[in-house]
Structure 1
């Protein structure tokens, strides 16, 4: 085929093995399409070396051939490049890469399936390739609902699994498009209702000219009487129509089938939170953030916080622990001062007596003194009062903890402890400094001594 563009030069950066495999595939297609395969072998080898690029040509100069005939054989030349660019395959490692592959965020199912199939080619699975690819799809799929559907299928194979996953992605995309169009039509109806009411008010201000008017035209332009403001989503739509809040979870109370702006729980809690809101407005609230909190490395993974707690029941006395009582959300709570802890920890049982406390998701792992990891139930921010000053402290909520802990940063911020970098001892004055006259010269007794008979003896 005349005018057929040859492949681009071979790129020897990045994953060279994959670059070579892809380039060889393009060269094979070019060889058959351009008629190069019918030409003389030396022409085929020269064409390959011409279009492969300067970097690969330098690699060719390092090859050794047994005879001149091998230099003219295209298959031998390609085999030489194969041995150079493709390292010796380690099947164990290739299977490890395959078994640790998962569907990443934003990756479509088609991309995930293609990646699994390409990785399986170097694993020597043989006849089990399709079954093992299907197993990886079921195990590492992001959508739990689709995974449950796949597990429920009898005699599931790779073709059925791929069909179910693709159908699920298509239906989700279609539902997203339908929801957008529904919200758009709802917004248009709301704008029309406002405009229609304003126009009616303006018309009412004008004097009536005649009672004879076309009722059919006004009724056709009037919004349908079946539309109403939904108590679940807040939009205006038909009573029997689709509600955008159906099946959705509320960000306020966690229940389903309504949005947070229409949540009734928020109305009930507004009275209880008013007192706390007033206190926050009247007093200056100091916010104490934990060092390297969830956002410190949480974008890249979970954070590990160390809790240095070591107790001995035999040596435990009243003065062996440093404790303090704080007023937390109007509740008196006794805390242990733990300067070895990197965060504040509170038990879930303590929060049961407090109102309007919302748990947020926590990505921390708490590491105890013995090295064990604890997964918190969540985290929360509590208003704490100490010496008529208010602080917003962040706590990790743990189930079954005996006593709440105040970490190093909170103890420092509340002024409960103070760091002392050095200790100086005051010098005790020596007797020689205060009575220097006594220690001068030699000591002598008085010249006259009392007589023996004048000395009185006392019996004890």
Structure 2
């Protein structure tokens, strides 16, 4: 039988690594058949493998003589010593808030969910919770909707589907990249051909092989210049374009206006749409219901938005149906990529028995909601700019309240101690002056 060395001594200054070290010792215990030995032998091997400091910790345990010889009891005491008491509500909140980050691989997202669920006490329903979080948290919202329609979806099927989707998308992007490379190669070849043609023309010009000079043409009929202007055939003809006599349509310089349209000014600065989240998760104080036509629409008040934004799905539910017109604004960008603006319409809205009219831009997005821009919100009286803010702090930057005293337990020990950052040489004198000023004004205690 092969011989196995026990794991290295446990690093007591890193108690968060206790789980990994314990799992490695358990494998060593099974591989060497130590688990079949007496409990007292197993406990001794555990304490010896951990290192000298484990003896002092073992002595602090209040165990009977019989329990000191039971491996599971002693191991449980070490778990209580190294593992702090966890807040299940906080652990679950971290789990439910975890979503796939932009650019993050699906495999890394799934592994993160497994790690976060370790301390959530889900029990037998752990796989169902991980499955639901994958379906809701993935970046591909089209795939998310497809998975939500699957009845009896299991965790294994979910993981397999999202992995295959990521591989297919990667292959499609690779094929598009190869096609772009081919197009660029063709463009380079055409550029080289045009350069050769231009170079040949320069060589012919330098060698004296110039083209024959062009003959001047008549400004009335477009033919070769007449010696006698009175012989021009267009002299008494009527132009079919401007209806004037004396020239043909081919030489008419009148600019005909065929259509007059009104266009909106194009902004040179591209619009950026930052974080757009679910309205139901936001504070109701920052959402407002506005009736457009006869349809109530929920908007989020966004003082940082220059435009009024509506999601295409909401636009399709408006009654009566609104007509979209083409918008000339530049493409809008967001953390998730470029947003497609399908058009705009003039909303005739009603809020608190008052009527308003403002432009709304409709975008195609699976995650965006409706935003009420800064100008419209101000016009409706929903927000107001405050010109002056009274400071709640004193002259020295301290809050005008009674001092707060923090009490610590007598046996409290810091989990970690960090040294202060070094002050650059160029700032040492300024730091000293500031500390003296704070001591003089009783902001900090004198040492």
User: Which TM-score band (shorter chain)?
Assistant: 0.3 to 0.5
Alignment TM-score, normalising by the size of structure 1? 0.43
Structure (1 or 2) with the larger CA radius of gyration: 1
